[in-house]
Amino acid sequence: MDKINSRLTFACDTARAAGALALGYFSDLSSLTIVSKGVQDMASEADVNTENLIRAAIEKQFPEDDFFGEESSDTYQAKEGCGVWVVDPIDGTQPFINGIRSWCISISFIQNDEIIIGVIYDPCTDEMFAAAKGQGATLNGSKMQTSQASSVAEGLISIGYSNRVTHDATLNPLQRLMQQQGMFHRSGSGALSLAYVAAGRLLGYFEPHMNIWDCAAGILLIEEAGGKAFNTLRNENYLIDGDVVIAAASGVYAQLLDIVEGD
């Protein structure tokens, strides 16, 4: 338990330091060099340098642990028999580079194919969403709980988009959601949307394909806040392959799952 708590405290402290660095870049966007990694997939030195800060902190504090970050994933070489820190230094890069305050720092720790630590930090609002497996979830230190709603018609379902799958994988569930009187929301940051589900602000979140660095922390937050999530660690190669993400308050999870899976 002490090892888990020490990692949780470390993750929160590191996320806050990374957030301060990223927020400095955000306040001077004209200085950034923006590069394209693919369709609707951008990055800048803010992403790279923020990830480097997090990686250096992990290597200093927990040199025995593995590291898997979005900006260095293409060169990843797994360490055998150890836990892995999974990091998205700036989730919501498109909003970030366009001056929209809908981005966050996402840090998780996975061991033996279980998400043990999940931290999402929003520097723009100074909100720290944090969870350790079996210990509940908190927002700035106060206990967090998912919505008590029993229908998608009672609030907002956030929907993410991925160009790694067909358009229909997003549009068909969206149509079914609207047919069941649901309302959709999109912020441009899947990790922050998952944190909002954990906090009860959103009823649920769906994205047809999500990389593990985008969703691991948020999934643990939701589960520890009383919600449910589709098992995104079901595939052996989950670090590389990614998967569909469906997560929601317990009372609407089954309905959202049915909406996503459809006929």
Quote the pLDDT of residue 71: 87
Q: What is the Cα gyration radius of the chain? A: 17
139 shares a domain with 175:
no
**Residue that finishes a domain, picked among 143, 163, 191:** 143
**Which among 108, 121, 116, 95 is positioned nearest to 21, based on CA atoms?**
121
Quote the pLDDT of residue 36: 63
As given in the structure block, the two tokens for residue 6 are: 């020490």
CA–CA gap between residue 101 and residue 90 (Å, rounded): 12
**Which among 155, 151, 109 is positioned nearest to 132, based on CA atoms?**
109
214 shares a domain with 132:
no
Count of beta carbons in the 10 Å neighbourhood of residue 160: 22
Quote the pLDDT of residue 137: 98
**Which among 31, 27, 28, 25 is positioned nearest to 52, based on CA atoms?**
25
**Residue that finishes a domain, picked among 88, 120, 143:** 143
137 shares a domain with 26:
yes
85 and 73 in contact (C-beta within 8 Å)? no
Quote the pLDDT of residue 155: 97
CA–CA gap between residue 73 and residue 86 (Å, rounded): 10
Which residue shows structure tokens 């720092």? 105
53 shares a domain with 25:
yes
Count of beta carbons in the 10 Å neighbourhood of residue 100: 15
pLDDT digits (tens, 9 = 90+) for 191-217: 999 999 999 999 999 999 999 999 999
Q: Which domain holds residue 205?
A: 152-261
Quote the pLDDT of residue 232: 83
pTM: 0.94
- Angle value at C-alpha 49, between 44 and 51, nearest 5 degrees: 100
The neighbouring-strand residues paired with 109 are 85, 117
CA–CA gap between residue 217 and residue 89 (Å, rounded): 12
88 shares a domain with 10:
yes
What CATH number does residue 190 fall under? 3.40.190.80
191 shares a domain with 139:
no
184 shares a domain with 114:
no
**Residue that finishes a domain, picked among 143, 169, 187:** 143
What CATH number does residue 108 fall under? 3.30.540.10
CA–CA gap between residue 186 and residue 180 (Å, rounded): 18
Low-confidence ranges of the chain (pLDDT < 70): 1, 36-43, 263
Quote the pLDDT of residue 42: 54
Q: How many structural domains is the chain composed of?
A: 2
CA–CA gap between residue 19 and residue 112 (Å, rounded): 28
90 shares a domain with 37:
yes
Quote the pLDDT of residue 109: 97
